[in-house]
Chain A
Amino acid sequence: MATQPPTSEPTTPKFTARLHSPQLPRWVPWALVAGAVAVGLALHLMVGWGWALTIVACWLGYVVVLVAVSGRVEGRRKAKDRLATSLVTTAFVLALLPLGSLLWQVVSNGLPAINSSFLNSSMRNVVGEGGGIFHALWGTLIVTSLAALMSIPIGLATGIYLVEYGNGRMARWITFLVDVMTGIPSIVAGLFAYALFVIFFGEGVRMGFGGAVALSVLMIPLVVRSTEEMLKLVPNELREASYALGVPKWRTIVKVVLPTAIAGIITGITIAIARVIGETAPLLIICGATDSVNFNPFDGRMMTLPVYIYSQYKNPGFPPEFGIERAWGAALVLTVIVMALNLVARLISYYFSPKTKA
């Protein structure tokens, strides 16, 4: 090997043998970021460009310069890698921008509306200022609880059936149909509830229970899926150990399998509730909108939080500012409820799931 050095690279003492390809120092990208920020500030403050334009321009400049420098020093392949890295990072930032601005909008617009009378009064006889979400809060609570009461037993039992008993044509059909149900547009669920109830109660039917039925159609597949996945995680050794002790299958499921998976199942149920509690479309169809408190889910229109937001936006009353402010206030309350449910779900799965490692 050493006897025949490659002729293309003469090994004169001037050149040291290159064992690795040249690489940009680690500080270069950061220096470029700093440069881009400085240029951006200058453009914004001195030339007077708008924020959006400045940021887009500086970002483009940063990527182009970085890729050019890298291509010059490190070669095409490394430059492509740097381009890909910047694009992927950009995608991530792009995805988080809407979340950040949305939460900021909800909090900053909603906070001024929140006070005790907003939470404690309905919209009865309110035209301009005042009014609140009391009726909508109760409506959401009633409709969602009824939906949960129907979906949790059915979803849980179906999940158990699919994992523990189901093998055959019926199980395959149910798996398939649960997939179909997951894809049902929420408005179609509302139309279904209407089409069902219109047969019994006549045209123009509106009732809270119908909303609960519509939400159940959306919630059952979520519960089934999470139950199924959690039950599949329970190791077969546990079941076999229980059978070996002579425990019947149903007691094995109730006393061994379910307790092992319960944290995950409750997490799944909580997330399912958080999903359906924010549904507007089906409730708009079947629960309708009203300004008064209604505690009876079987009689007449029932307001819910999402529909409240929608109707305050659509018909803000006069002058419109107050309606819009109420819409944002209700949006803040709804967001807090949904985020709290998600947080609770995470905490449950974090603290109560069986630890796999010591």
Chain B
Amino acid sequence: MTSHAVEGTHRPPRSVGDRVFPALVTAAGAVILVTLAGVALFLTYEGLPALTAKAADIPGADSFAAYVWPLLYGTLLASVLALLFAVPVSIGVALFISHFAPRRLASSLGYLVDLLAAVPSIIYGLWGIFFLAPRLVPLYDWLAGHLSWIPFFAGPASVTGRTILTAGFVLGVMVLPIMTSICREIFLQTPRLHEEAALALGATRWEMIRMTVFPYGRSGIVSGAMLALGRALGETIAVATILSVSNVVSLNLISSTNPGTIAANIALKFPEASGIEVNILIATGLVLFIVTFLVNFLARAIVGRRAEFSGAN
């Protein structure tokens, strides 16, 4: 040991492990680069034939764009409905856990909400179709009877309850835990001094939350909602189980003719598909991939921007 210190000028020999190990872990990182490149590449390669397919080969439409548009519309509609349910509730749940519940209970309540995220989507599907949908039928009847002047509730109401509104509701339940956990983290990071300053000025708890927690957590709420949107866009089996699809573009949320979603359409058609139809389905998958990528990218960008200026706090 001392001899090294005295000689000083030459570096100690690097052990073999110190050359092999970094190479190994870097290679693992490279595998991820290759995998993602592979996803994009193979999907494009297998999807391209769909773009140039003859009109006769595309089921129910004369071009790929016309085929994918109603599905894209349904995907967006179901996801937006899911967010309408999930955003207010998850902000409330996150607030409850971070600022209202007794401190000792808070973390166990958090686990409870996380359990919602652990339930596999096929089980949400079963629950939606056998439990929820029949129980929503009276509500749809009422909506169709009393509010049919609103285009969303034009009716005639579905007798099975397998509507896009039901699907959106189940999707909302499924994305709730993602958004809740992001909001909760952000709310808990609100500077303690801001909160106490507000309370010391005589603010009620709600005023304190509006003055300190929301302004601080706004970007977190937005990015949480976008991540939830990304999840809702790609959710497959629950929608495939619940929705009765007829590939229309309509605003009607409670009838039995509903737009399908891209992911559910793939799941429903793929097992029996062959030939060019497989390529068409893969191409719609590529469209879904691009849309979710854009949404997630935007969400991350918002989180990233926040990370920059939150350093000052």
- Point out residues on A near B: beta carbons under 8 Å: 52, 77-78, 80-81, 83-85, 87-92, 94-96, 98-99, 101-102, 105-106, 109, 153-158, 160-162, 164-166, 170-171, 173-174, 177-189, 191-192, 194-196, 198-199, 203-204, 217, 220, 224, 246, 248-251, 253-254, 274-275, 277-281, 284-285, 288-289, 306, 309-310, 313, 324, 327-328, 331, 334-335, 338-339, 342, 346
Contact flag A339-B29 (CB < 8 Å), given A102-B124, A185-B263, A285-B270: no
A291 to chain B, nearest CB (A): 14
Bound CA–CA A72/B46 (angstroms): 68
Which segment of B55-63, B146-154, B231-239, B305-313 sits at the interface?
A: B231-239
Contact flag A95-B120 (CB < 8 Å), given A177-B33, A179-B300: no
Q: Are A331 and B42 in contact (CB under 8 A)?
A: no
Residue of A153, A164, A171, A284 touching B270 (CB-CB under 8 A): A284
Bound CA–CA A165/B100 (angstroms): 42
Q: Are B15 and A246 in contact (CB under 8 A)?
A: no
Query: Closest chain A residue to B95 by CB distance?
Result: A88
B190 an interface residue at 8 Å Cβ cutoff?
no
Contact flag A179-B292 (CB < 8 Å), given A246-B1, A280-B120: no
Bound CA–CA A160/B263 (angstroms): 34
Q: Are B88 and A91 in contact (CB under 8 A)?
A: yes
B240 to chain A, nearest CB (A): 8
Binary interface profile of B, 226-270, with partner A (CB < 8 Å = 1, else 0)? 010010011111001100000000000000000000010011001
Q: Are A158 and B29 in contact (CB under 8 A)?
A: yes
Q: Are B39 and A250 in contact (CB under 8 A)?
A: no
Please tell me the number of chain B residues within 8 Å of chain A, measured between CB atoms. 93
Residue of A78, A158, A179, A249 touching B296 (CB-CB under 8 A): A179
Q: Are B25 and A92 in contact (CB under 8 A)?
A: no
Chain A residues whose CB sits within 8 angstroms of the CB of B230 once the complex forms: 183
Residue of A161, A195, A310 touching B26 (CB-CB under 8 A): A161
Q: Are A250 and B120 in contact (CB under 8 A)?
A: no
Bound CA–CA A254/B22 (angstroms): 12
Query: Closest chain B residue to A189 by CB distance?
Result: B39
Q: Are B100 and A88 in contact (CB under 8 A)?
A: yes
Q: Are B92 and A87 in contact (CB under 8 A)?
A: yes
B204 an interface residue at 8 Å Cβ cutoff?
yes
A203 to chain B, nearest CB (A): 7
Q: Are B36 and A177 in contact (CB under 8 A)?
A: yes
**Contact sample, A vs B, 25 pairs, CB 8 Å cutoff:** A77-B204, A87-B92, A91-B88, A91-B91, A91-B92, A92-B101, A94-B92, A96-B113, A160-B25, A180-B297, A181-B35, A191-B43, A191-B285, A192-B38, A195-B43, A250-B20, A278-B120, A278-B122, A281-B237, A285-B266, A285-B267, A288-B271, A313-B125, A338-B119, A338-B120
Q: Are A310 and B25 in contact (CB under 8 A)?
A: no
Query: Closest chain B residue to A85 by CB distance?
Result: B100
Of B14, B123, B236, which is in contact with the most chain A CB atoms at under 10 Å from its CB? B123
B90 an interface residue at 8 Å Cβ cutoff?
yes
Bound CA–CA A171/B19 (angstroms): 18
B49 to chain A, nearest CB (A): 12
Of A184, A335, A338, which is in contact with the most chain B CB atoms at under 10 Å from its CB? A184
Chain B residues whose CB sits within 8 angstroms of the CB of A224 once the complex forms: 32
Bound CA–CA A345/B289 (angstroms): 31
B143 an interface residue at 8 Å Cβ cutoff?
no
A266 to chain B, nearest CB (A): 17
A302 to chain B, nearest CB (A): 14
Contact flag A310-B127 (CB < 8 Å), given A85-B205, A88-B100, A281-B237: no
Chain B residues whose CB sits within 8 angstroms of the CB of A88 once the complex forms: 92, 95-96, 100
Query: Closest chain B residue to A284 by CB distance?
Result: B267
Query: Closest chain B residue to A84 by CB distance?
Result: B206
Per CB-CB distance, the 10 closest pairs between chain A and chain B, nearest first, are A185-B234, A91-B92, A278-B120, A157-B28, A183-B296, A250-B21, A81-B204, A281-B236, A195-B42, A84-B206
Chain B residues whose CB sits within 8 angstroms of the CB of A171 once the complex forms: 29
Binary interface profile of B, 273-295, with partner A (CB < 8 Å = 1, else 0)? 01100100110011011001101
Binary interface profile of B, 72-111, with partner A (CB < 8 Å = 1, else 0)? 0000000000000000111111011100110000000101
Of B32, B33, B101, B270, which is in contact with the most chain A CB atoms at under 10 Å from its CB? B32
Q: Are A177 and B18 in contact (CB under 8 A)?
A: no
Residue of B28, B206, B236 touching A185 (CB-CB under 8 A): B236
B8 an interface residue at 8 Å Cβ cutoff?
no
Bound CA–CA A173/B33 (angstroms): 8
Q: Are A161 and B39 in contact (CB under 8 A)?
A: no
Chain A residues whose CB sits within 8 angstroms of the CB of B201 once the complex forms: none
Q: Are A187 and B236 in contact (CB under 8 A)?
A: yes
Q: Are A328 and B300 in contact (CB under 8 A)?
A: no
Additional A-B contacts beyond A154-B32, A281-B267 (4; CB < 8 A): A85-B206, A89-B100, A158-B28, A180-B296
Q: Are B46 and A177 in contact (CB under 8 A)?
A: no
User: Restricting to B177-234, which residues have a CB under 8 Å from any CB of A?
Assistant: 180, 204-207, 209, 227, 230, 233-234
Bound CA–CA A355/B118 (angstroms): 27
Q: Are A185 and B32 in contact (CB under 8 A)?
A: no
Chain A residues whose CB sits within 8 angstroms of the CB of B18 once the complex forms: 248-250
Chain B residues whose CB sits within 8 angstroms of the CB of A101 once the complex forms: 127, 131
Query: Closest chain A residue to B36 by CB distance?
Result: A177
Query: Closest chain A residue to B263 by CB distance?
Result: A187
B50 an interface residue at 8 Å Cβ cutoff?
no
B157 an interface residue at 8 Å Cβ cutoff?
no
Q: Are B39 and A184 in contact (CB under 8 A)?
A: yes
Contact flag A196-B38 (CB < 8 Å), given A187-B285, A280-B120: yes
